[in-house]
Amino acid sequence: MRKKIVAGNWKMNKSWPEAMELTKSLSLNSSSFPADVQVIVSPPALYLQGVRSELPETLAIAAQNCSQHESGAYTGEISAGMLKSMGVAYCIIGHSERRQYYGETNEVIREKIDACLKNGVTPIFCCGEILSERNSGEHFNTVSTQVKQALFHLSEEQLALVVIAYEPVWAIGTGVTASNEQAEEMHAFIRSIVAQHYSETIANDISILYGGSVNAANAKELFACPNVDGGLVGGASLKAADFTTIIQAAQ
Ligand code: 13P
């Protein structure tokens, strides 16, 4: 049975006092979170430990990125092993902002996935097409290439540990959400290529989250799509009330 997951990606937002205020509000609201939804909070790396210590154990934390390297002279970087040693259970890998602004290729993303799995950190692997690819009908090819190049070298056992997030780049931070039909179609497609390469069982068990302008008003319909197992939420995860509504919508 695949897990329902709602993850909040704070990106590079909030001062430390603001981050603590949001964390405390989420802790207070957490008694109203559905028991069958894994809630994940992904603050900036600097705040991971502080946020972890304020959250109930039932909520998990995620880093927004990690290095593909184990350790050594990589100034400014954080390894998956370091994350694990600090109680960070998840790490977002291959977010489109990392691909776009920091030049992360499918090859680097694959190495980061490997680093996470080697160190017992669950990768939340992001994929998604840009607008011109959607408009020219290339979106299935783009996503298929991203998924295959980053994940398909993994064993069945390893893939079963990965969470996939489909985040069409044109929907991120734009207020333009993919329609329920567009989201469902791509999620079903991703599941089908996983089924072809691995098995129906693995494909049925992997959680595929939708990301891109998810908000308190549209979450319920998106999460009701049969192949959408929750969301990776940016802007709306910065407000405790909105994020709480989104979490409840995943029930
Ligand atoms: P928004 O929800 O702000 O569109 O961001 C989505 C996202 O990039 C989550 O990783």
**CA 187 to ligand 1 center in whole angstroms:** 17
For residue 196, give both structure tokens: 């072809």
What's the whole-model pTM score?
0.98
Cα 86 to middle of ligand 1, angstroms: 25
Mutate to test the pocket of ligand 1, among 12, 164, 167 (most ligand atoms within 8 A of CB): 167
- Euclidean distance between CA atoms 232 and 39, whole angstroms: 10
Residues 6+ apart with CB under 8 A from 90: 7, 40, 42, 60, 61, 62, 63, 121, 122, 123, 124, 163
Task: Reply yes or no on whether 104 is catalytic.
Answer: no
172 CA: nearest ligand 1 atom: 4
> How many angstroms separate the CA atoms of 115 and 131, rounded?
30
pLDDT in tens, the chain (251 residues): 799 999 999 999 999 999 999 999 999 999 999 999 999 999 999 999 999 999 999 999 999 999 999 999 999 999 999 999 999 999 999 999 999 999 999 999 999 999 999 999 999 999 999 999 999 999 999 999 999 999 999 999 999 999 999 999 999 999 999 999 999 999 999 999 999 999 999 999 999 999 999 999 999 999 999 999 999 999 999 999 999 999 999 99
Cβ pair 130, 173 in contact under 8 A: no
Query: Which residue's C-alpha comes closest to atom 1 of ligand 1?
Result: 234
Q: For residue 1, what pLDDT is reported?
A: 79
CATH 3.90.700.10 fits 4-249, yes or no: no
**Distance from C-alpha of 8 to C-alpha of 250, rounded to nearest angstrom:** 13
Listed residue (108, 170, 162, 167) closest to 134, CA to CA: 170
Rounded to 5°, the CA angle 42-227-170 comes to 60
> Going by C-beta distance under 8 Å and a sequence separation of 6 or more, which residues neighbour residue 35?
none
* H/E segment holding residue 244: helix 240-249
Show me where the domains of the chain are located.
4-249
Per-residue pLDDT at 135:
97
Residue partners of 72: CB distance under 8 A and separation at least 6: none
Residue 84's pLDDT is 98
